[in-house]
Amino acid sequence: NREWHLLSRPVGWPKPEDFALVEAPVPTPGEGQVLVRNKYLSVDPYMRGRMSEAKSYVAPFELGKVMQGGAVGEVIESRAEGIAVGDHVLHFLGWREYAAVDAGHAVKVDAQAAPLSTYLGVLGMTGLTAYAGLLRTASFKEGDAVFVSGAAGAVGSQVGQIAKLKGASRVIGSAGSDEKVRLLVEEYGFDAAFNYKSGPVAEQLREAAPDGIDVYFDNVGGDHLEAAIGSLNEGGRIAVCGMISVYNNTEPAPGPRNLARLIQTRGRIEGFLVGDHYDLQPQFVQEVGPWVASGALKYRETVVEGIENNLEAFLGVLRGDNVGKMVVKL
């Protein structure tokens, strides 16, 4: 059983020396627990926050201990009622090959109904993030023009497509390569997209959304947020989902210089955490599940193989190596 430990708290970009892949005994499940052989591990931007000491909405990872994260695996031993050997479960003890999981913290998933990895992505946490953030936090309504950053990523690609399926007047996305931009327009049906690395975001957004935007779904922060405020229409709404452009900063990033535009636009800006919106899960599965099954909503995954590459996969998400959800296959 190999597991990833955090050795020291990264300053700026995490370095390989901050981590170690450690050999540990396969855990013995206690009463009320199941032993799970993990098949897919999730790597997510928020994990960067847990590597730092600062208190956030989830506790920091402990030094010298195994890290945590979303995972899906097969139950190989059960000491819990209602979960049998051979069942597949979604749980939170990732970054390791084997986990003893409390039955109350394991959610059974159907390996026949959908590929196991999708329970970490398009049908899982990132999917619900897109759904809740767009529909609830940003109060999306038919006819809205929607701009989403990080648009080729797990959350962003789903935001754009849900908006389109629900009658957005225009969907604009930004991403970090021309290839990703092509994917947004040609495969995901975005009306316009641009590469934020090829020119000022504000200019490119104005060109892509000449009539302005009603919703901005922020995954990135920084100049993207300022650009979105600059293009916001009256009554516009900004859902702050993430700000990946600042996660490795060692100094606080300056705020948008044009915040005062929120006055004339009566604009609203609001952050949210997917954890507060699990009441939407049944509705999300009911509405988005069939779109995924029929292909009306497309998704990609970037699959990295092997526990030894778990850290590289995580760093890859911060670098933008991924298209769609990044997962590690064991």
- Separation CA 70–CA 327 (nearest Å): 10
Q: Which stretch binds ligand NDP (CB under 6 A): 60-68, 87-95, 111-119, 315-323?
A: 315-323
- Residue 134 lies near ligand NDP (rule: CB under 6 A): no
- Residue 233 lies near ligand NDP (rule: CB under 6 A): no
CA dihedral 258, 276, 285, 169 (to 10 degrees): -20
Q: Which stretch binds ligand NDP (CB under 6 A): 43-51, 86-94, 110-118, 279-287?
A: 43-51
- Six token digits for residue 129: 């993030």
Number of residues lying near ligand NDP (CB under 6 A): 29
- Residue (of 110, 121, 140, 72) closest to 288 by Cα position: 121
Nearest residue (CB) to ligand NDP, 5 versus 277: 277
Nearest residue (CB) to ligand NDP, 73 versus 150: 150
Q: Which stretch binds ligand NDP (CB under 6 A): 24-32, 70-78, 152-160, 228-236?
A: 152-160
For the residues of 106-167, what is the DSSP string, one character each? -EEE-TTTS-GGGGTTTTSHHHHHHHHIIIIIS---TT-EEEESSTTBHHHHHHHHHHHHTT
CA dihedral 214, 295, 107, 21 (to 10 degrees): -90
User: What is the x/- site pattern for ligand NDP, positions 252-281, by CB under 6 A?
Assistant: --------------------xxx-------
- Do the beta carbons of residue 12 and residue 318 sit within 8 Å? no
Nearest residue (CB) to ligand NDP, 98 versus 188: 188
- Residue 153 lies near ligand NDP (rule: CB under 6 A): yes
Query: What single letter denotes the amino acid at residue 179?
Result: E
- Residue 46 lies near ligand NDP (rule: CB under 6 A): yes
DSSP state of 274: G
Residues that bind ligand NDP (CB under 6 A): 44-46, 126, 129, 150, 152-156, 175-177, 180, 196, 219-220, 241-242, 244-245, 272-274, 317-318, 320, 322
